[in-house]
């Protein structure tokens, strides 16, 4: 699989993203990382998947009324992503902030392909995205992730479970099969996309320590010089 | 362009569509803003129905899924160029899958006010990458005919002034930052649009119609072309002759 032709990040700010199936613990880790960076006096901006105020209503209505096809589902999420990119992520990067994104174009690459959309088509769709400086992939066995999700949460929703694919009439079974296929896609792209793979079954503290080590190693210099700071103290391991 | 099923897609096909089942005809009316497309679509619709065809007419930002969202974004003047392009692409995909394809399957004549060409032209006019948007738009069906109502920008200006009586923010491409003046912006933006559409003429096999003439003359041309198209279907060209 070829690495997609994202535009290089040539701005002062840095882009750190996390990927993984639901229940991989990526959001928790990103949150801890953001807090740590902020505590070190780095200006941090946060963006999560499916959150554009401009597009949210349309996505919500489409999901509720089950109006989506594989193509329109893919396109509306790309629209949401484009809005966040153009009006938030890019300006923040230009201003020198570290942008932490929970999910990125790779979510679409994995999920939309499982829905039946063309691989090259969806990779081209996201060509306007900026290449992340760091992409963390939280690797977790399917059953572990499912246990976390199915254990203590609200009911799984139609598209979340991939019910539109007709994998199973049972929503839990559908969710399992759907997430399983997404997991395969992530695994297949991990090397080509340059993911830093984190063992998501390790203790939370261990995972976080590893993330911070990677950040210091890869971005330490920029964090101390180019990036926008809210305080003057140099970055150090917490 | 020969008129025969099955229809094809420009790029990778949409999943789950059997094009050999699509017996209807897909006609596209393209052209810049203020050139008089909707007038022609209305007339064509009435004429086609009189001829006994079932007609669906469809246009931009009218999808059940994305129409409202686009409207709200426009009112708020809060559209980035890529976001706008993709929101319209979503709208187009929704109409294609949920309105156009079912209508074609049912044997309707589908009259589309604008198609992927305007979508691409608007993106290109805003500086987006041509090959990017062409690839995105690859899921569109190849129409049976594309009628490009072509007019110079000075003609469009005259229509805006004498017709509608005011310049519109979006039609003037004000979001593209070409000028702070609505008139100047209109001229620059529409010039880019026309140029972009012109450059697509050959590749996408447009039938170019001089739209600087009165609506009646344009309508007569459209009727002539469409009649000839239908005639070619009923009586295919004998062997040895070009169709």
pLDDT in tens, B147-166: 999 999 999 999 999 888 88
Backbone phi and psi for residue A163, each to the nearest 5 degrees, phi listed first: -60, -25
Cα–Cα distance for residue pair B88/B32, rounded to 1 Å? 16
CB-closest option in A72, A78, A85 to B97: A72
Q: Quick check: B240 pLDDT over 70? A: no
B75: contact with A, CB 8 A cutoff? no
* b/e code A162-186 from CB counts within 10 Å (16+ = b): bbbbebbeebeebbbbbbbbbbebb
3-state secondary structure of A164: helix
CA distance B177 to chain A (A): 15
Q: Is B148 left (phi over 0), alpha (psi -120 to 50) or beta?
A: beta
Query: In this complex, do A54 and B135 lie within 8 Å of one another by their Cβ atoms?
Result: no
Query: In this complex, do A127 and B90 lie within 8 Å of one another by their Cβ atoms?
Result: no
Q: Quick check: B4 pLDDT over 70? A: no
State pTM to two decimals.
0.91
CB B218 within 8 A of CB B35: no
Tokens representing residue A236 in the block: 């150090």
A72: contact with B, CB 8 A cutoff? yes
Query: In this complex, do A86 and B83 lie within 8 Å of one another by their Cβ atoms?
Result: yes
Alpha helices in A40-141 (DSSP H): 53-64, 70-84, 90-95, 105-114, 119-125
Q: Which residue of A has its CA nearest to B76?
A: A54
A177: contact with B, CB 8 A cutoff? no
* b/e code B83-99 from CB counts within 10 Å (16+ = b): bbbbbbbbbbbbbbbbb
A117: contact with B, CB 8 A cutoff? yes
Pairing of strands A196-199, B145-150: unpaired
ipTM: 0.90
Q: Quick check: B16 pLDDT over 90? A: no
Q: In B, which residues are within 8 Å of A91 by CB distance?
A: none
- Predicted pLDDT of residue B6: 62
CB-closest option in A57, A75, A116 to B90: A75
A/B interface, count of CB pairs below 8 Å: 96
Burial of A61 (0-12, 13-18, 19+ CB in 10 A): middle
Query: In this complex, do A79 and B132 lie within 8 Å of one another by their Cβ atoms?
Result: no
Cα–Cα distance for residue pair A137/A15, rounded to 1 Å? 14
If pLDDT is split at 50, 70 and 90, which confidence band does B78 have?
confident
- Substitution target in B90, B92, B135 with the highest count of A β-carbons within 10 Å is B90
Q: Quick check: B241 pLDDT over 80? A: no
B64: contact with A, CB 8 A cutoff? yes
Tokens representing residue B66 in the block: 């994305």
User: For B35-59, how does the pLDDT look when each residue is reduced to its tens digit (9 = 90+)?
Assistant: 999 999 999 999 999 999 999 999 9
Q: In B, which residues are within 8 Å of A67 by CB distance?
A: 64-65, 94, 98
Cα–Cα distance for residue pair B9/A27, rounded to 1 Å? 40
A122: contact with B, CB 8 A cutoff? no
Q: In A, which residues are within 8 Å of B64 by CB distance?
A: 67
Q: Where are the beta strands (DSSP E) in chain A?
A: 14-19, 44-48, 98-102, 134-139, 196-199
Supply the DSSP string of B107-173, one letter for each residue.
T-EEEEES-HHHHHHHHHHTT--HHHHHHHGGGSBPPSEEEEEE--HHHHHHHIIIII-S--TTTTT
Backbone phi and psi for residue B187, each to the nearest 5 degrees, phi listed first: -60, -50
CB B200 within 8 A of CB B120: yes
Query: In this complex, do B15 and A75 lie within 8 Å of one another by their Cβ atoms?
Result: no
Query: In this complex, do A54 and B94 lie within 8 Å of one another by their Cβ atoms?
Result: no
How big, in percent rounded to 5, are the helix, strand and coil portions of chain B? 50, 10, 35
pLDDT tens, position by position, for chain A (238 residues)?
Answer: 556 679 999 999 999 999 999 999 999 999 999 999 999 999 999 999 999 999 999 999 999 999 999 999 999 999 999 999 999 999 999 999 999 999 999 999 999 999 999 999 999 999 999 999 999 999 999 999 998 888 766 788 899 999 999 999 999 999 999 999 999 999 999 999 999 999 999 999 999 999 999 999 999 998 888 788 886 666 665 4
Query: In this complex, do B90 and A83 lie within 8 Å of one another by their Cβ atoms?
Result: no
Q: Quick check: B237 pLDDT over 70? A: no
CB-closest option in A54, A71, A83 to B97: A71
- Predicted pLDDT of residue B5: 53
Backbone phi and psi for residue A13, each to the nearest 5 degrees, phi listed first: -75, 170
Neighbours of B137 (CB within 10 A): 20
B97: contact with A, CB 8 A cutoff? yes
CA distance B222 to chain A (A): 32
Tokens representing residue B108 in the block: 């309707």
Query: In this complex, do A128 and B73 lie within 8 Å of one another by their Cβ atoms?
Result: no
Q: In A, which residues are within 8 Å of B68 by CB distance?
A: 57-58
Cα–Cα distance for residue pair A87/B13, rounded to 1 Å? 32
- Predicted pLDDT of residue A226: 78
């Amino acid at each position: 699989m070829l690495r997609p032709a994202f535009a290089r990040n040539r701005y002062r700010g840095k882009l750190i993203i996390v990927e993984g199936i639901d229940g991989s613990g990526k959001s928790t880790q990103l949150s801890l990382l953001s807090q740590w960076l902020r505590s070190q006096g780095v200006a941090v901006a946060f963006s999560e998947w499916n959150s554009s105020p401009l597009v949210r209503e349309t996505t919500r209505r489409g999901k509720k009324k089950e109006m989506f096809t594989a193509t329109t589902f893919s396109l509306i999420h790309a629209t949401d992503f484009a809005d966040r990119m153009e009006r938030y992520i890019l300006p923040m990067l230009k201003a020198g902030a570290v942008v932490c994104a929970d999910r990125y174009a790779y979510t679409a690459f994995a999920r939309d392909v499982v829905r039946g959309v063309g691989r090259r088509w969806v990779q081209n769709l996201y060509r306007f995205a900026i290449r992340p400086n760091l992409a963390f992939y939280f690797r977790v066995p399917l059953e572990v992730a499912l246990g976390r999700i199915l254990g203590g949460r609200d009911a799984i929703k139609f598209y979340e479970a991939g019910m539109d694919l007709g994998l199973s009439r049972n929503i839990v079974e559908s969710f399992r099969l759907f997430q399983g296929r997404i997991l395969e896609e992530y695994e297949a792209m991990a090397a080509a996309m340059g993911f830093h793979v984190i063992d998501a079954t390790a203790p939370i503290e261990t995972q976080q320590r590893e993330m911070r080590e990677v950040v210091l190693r890869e971005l330490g210099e920029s964090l101390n010089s180019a990036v926008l700071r809210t305080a003057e103290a140099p970055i150090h391991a917490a | 362009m020969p008129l025969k099923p099955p229809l094809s897609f420009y790029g990778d096909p949409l999943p789950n569509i059997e094009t050999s089942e699509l017996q209807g005809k897909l006609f596209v009316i393209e052209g810049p803003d203020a050139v008089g497309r909707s007038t022609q679509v209305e007339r064509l619709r009435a004429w086609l129905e009189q001829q006994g065809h079932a007609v669906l007419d469809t246009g931009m930002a009218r999808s059940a899924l994305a129409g409202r969202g686009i409207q709200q974004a426009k009112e708020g003047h809060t559209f980035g160029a890529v976001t706008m392009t993709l929101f319209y692409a979503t709208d187009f995909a929704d109409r294609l899958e949920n309105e156009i394809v079912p209508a074609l399957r049912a044997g309707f004549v589908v009259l589309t006010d604008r198609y992927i060409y305007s979508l691409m032209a608007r993106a290109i006019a805003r500086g987006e990458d041509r090959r990017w948007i062409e690839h995105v738009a690859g899921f569109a069906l190849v129409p049976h005919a594309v009628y490009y109502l072509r007019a110079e920008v000075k003609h469009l200006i005259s229509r805006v002034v004498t017709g509608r009586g005011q310049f519109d923010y979006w039609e003037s491409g004000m979001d593209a930052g070409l000028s702070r003046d609505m008139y100047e912006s209109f001229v620059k933006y529409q010039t880019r649009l026309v140029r972009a559409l012109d450059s697509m003429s050959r590749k996408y096999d447009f039938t170019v119609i001089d739209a600087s003439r009165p609506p009646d003359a344009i309508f007569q041309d459209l009727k002539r072309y469409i009649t000839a198209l239908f005639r070619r279907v009923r009586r295919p060209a004998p062997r040895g002759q070009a169709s």
